A and B are shown apart, each in its own frame.
Chain A
């Protein structure tokens, strides 16, 4: 089918998926222990009638599916509720912190992929050589390092001994350097191995031999023929990695005390601030679905074989 048709089809499927996941999400939040009302009023002395009144006011006495629709209608209007702890709209809290997390995520993923792809290509082309062995070993070491430990070590070296970069809070873009490195380096190892493996496999394919057989220049064979094929799984990985980085961001932001959404999530879980947790997880869910859909679309753009509907060969 045409590219456009495929894109529409994927987008169309994406929407019900978001709904479906929000239902699961809402249900999980619903069965979490802890009574939000009691937490909200912690420390205050209230009568049971007051508690019941509040419960009714917040709609917490309704059955699950009714609560879900209330919640959904609010969400669609951009209202994610009020934070129990901060007494401010969740949307406001998140929007204040989202830019930092996005900046961190984008910086680290770009860093990881640039380093990973370049080293992977070099290793594939110089396969079997000392360079390849060195790069491959380094890559495996990198993706064995826990991100939070790497962050601590980086803090120690660059923040303390060398006093080169800030290690806590946000003072400007330079505050993102160490956190981004801590997130990016382990990823880059994995990307390097993936790129290398894909490139090696592609270079063994018959069509590469055909390309060489036509007398095309080696750079043309590598770039136009080989890389064009090998890069496809790597690009797919890019879109899948984006949401995964949010998980890493939670840990890293907490470690480096960055005012991002990840750290907000962590603190909110500790303080049982459910509206905030719910809001953030919703955003992450939407992000996951969007990234996956984008990934599928990009693959369809890059690989024409994917667009074939069953029974569509010439």
Chain B
């Protein structure tokens, strides 16, 4: 497929790219990448490094502080917090990725349409996007979850349905700027179908912006889904979702703070790593921010 070939070519060019070299000198970006790698490793090797199953209950061992046997302590059901945190990483990354993919699937086509056709299509799509973007996402997501019921998958759908607006905006803006370029005008003059133009010419040029945007929206996707789980509408017990762990642990926060500290800490670190990477990418790709 043409798109795959183009992407591959871009990756090859990236290897010798100045941008890459600049990124490697960006300390925060590297730190973000490092943290992200660690968390990804944890997620991938969860089965190996977890000390016990995440649902293994041991009521004789409840709310124990961190010890060699349980480095992060145990929760109110005697489950090992460390193991749960590690499995939770898997969930968080997975959820973040899914949400962003769904968001992009909704937002990118809309942005392409709006940017390509302009006029009434653009007005309608932009109006929708603006209205959606203005509304507090949590409230809307709550509304959707109330309709379709609780559960992790449902929360993914709900959050994605509520926060696709940035993708439409970015893609629309980039599309519009590309539309005036000669090769587009030429393609239209030859009589290429709109669909083909959008796919073969516009999309590859818009792709880098989408990627940067994705890295920047994954953290908010993770944060919203965990917030919904925290409220009880997302992951259901015994899923080791970090938000759910915070919700369960909050009742014991004073005598067993480790139930809350560690999941939240990892949640923060995950969001932080994506934010650092996305921020570094943006700075590196935008020449204005680099020097004067």
Binding site for B on A (CB under 8 A): 17, 21, 28, 31-33, 136-137, 140-141, 143-149, 152-153, 155-156, 160, 193, 197, 200-201, 204, 240, 243-248, 250-251, 254-255, 265-266, 269-270, 281, 284-285, 288-289, 291-292
Q: Assuming the A-B contacts A144-B272, A146-B226, are A250 and B139 also in contact, with contact meaning beta carbons closer than 8 angstroms in the complex?
A: yes
Q: Assuming the A-B contacts A146-B227, A246-B139, are A255 and B250 also in contact, with contact meaning beta carbons closer than 8 angstroms in the complex?
A: yes
For residue B138, CB closer than 8 A to chain A, the reply is yes
- For B142, what are the chain A residues with a Cβ–Cβ distance below 8 Å? 250, 265, 269
- The 10 A-B pairs with the shortest beta carbon distances in the complex, nearest first, are A247-B138, A149-B264, A247-B136, A144-B272, A144-B271, A244-B136, A160-B254, A145-B268, A246-B136, A288-B134
The answer to whether B131 and A146 touch across the interface, beta carbons within 8 angstroms, is no
- For B219, what are the chain A residues with a Cβ–Cβ distance below 8 Å? 144
For residue B253, CB closer than 8 A to chain A, the reply is yes
A241 shortest CB reach to chain B, Å: 10
- For B276, what are the chain A residues with a Cβ–Cβ distance below 8 Å? 140
The answer to whether B292 and A244 touch across the interface, beta carbons within 8 angstroms, is no
> Interface code B145-156, partner A: CB below 8 Å = 1, 0 otherwise?
011000000000
The answer to whether B139 and A31 touch across the interface, beta carbons within 8 angstroms, is no
- For B272, what are the chain A residues with a Cβ–Cβ distance below 8 Å? 140-141, 144
Please, how many angstroms separate the alpha-carbon atoms of A141 and B28 in the complex? 11
Nearest to A145 among chain B residues (CB) is B268
Please, how many angstroms separate the alpha-carbon atoms of A292 and B226 in the complex? 28
Nearest to B145 among chain A residues (CB) is A269
- For A255, what are the chain B residues with a Cβ–Cβ distance below 8 Å? 250
The answer to whether A243 and B227 touch across the interface, beta carbons within 8 angstroms, is no
For residue B15, CB closer than 8 A to chain A, the reply is no
Please, how many angstroms separate the alpha-carbon atoms of A197 and B282 in the complex? 12
The answer to whether A21 and B230 touch across the interface, beta carbons within 8 angstroms, is no
Please, how many angstroms separate the alpha-carbon atoms of A21 and B134 in the complex? 12
Q: Assuming the A-B contacts A140-B276, A146-B264, A149-B267, are A243 and B250 also in contact, with contact meaning beta carbons closer than 8 angstroms in the complex?
A: no
B115 shortest CB reach to chain A, Å: 20
> Interface code B251-292, partner A: CB below 8 Å = 1, 0 otherwise?
001100100110010011001100110010000000011001
**Residue of B28, B231, B279, B288 with most chain A CB atoms under a 10 A cut-off:** B231
Nearest to B267 among chain A residues (CB) is A146
For residue B117, CB closer than 8 A to chain A, the reply is no
Q: Assuming the A-B contacts A144-B275, A149-B268, A247-B139, are A32 and B147 also in contact, with contact meaning beta carbons closer than 8 angstroms in the complex?
A: yes
A9 shortest CB reach to chain B, Å: 16
Please, how many angstroms separate the alpha-carbon atoms of A117 and B272 in the complex? 21
26 contacts across the A-B interface (CB closer than 8 A): A28-B143, A31-B147, A33-B147, A140-B272, A140-B275, A141-B272, A144-B268, A145-B271, A146-B226, A146-B227, A146-B264, A148-B246, A152-B250, A153-B261, A197-B289, A243-B134, A244-B136, A244-B137, A247-B136, A250-B231, A254-B231, A255-B250, A265-B139, A284-B139, A288-B135, A292-B134
Please, how many angstroms separate the alpha-carbon atoms of A110 and B134 in the complex? 19
A169 shortest CB reach to chain B, Å: 15
B17 shortest CB reach to chain A, Å: 24
The answer to whether A140 and B279 touch across the interface, beta carbons within 8 angstroms, is yes
- For B288, what are the chain A residues with a Cβ–Cβ distance below 8 Å? 201, 204
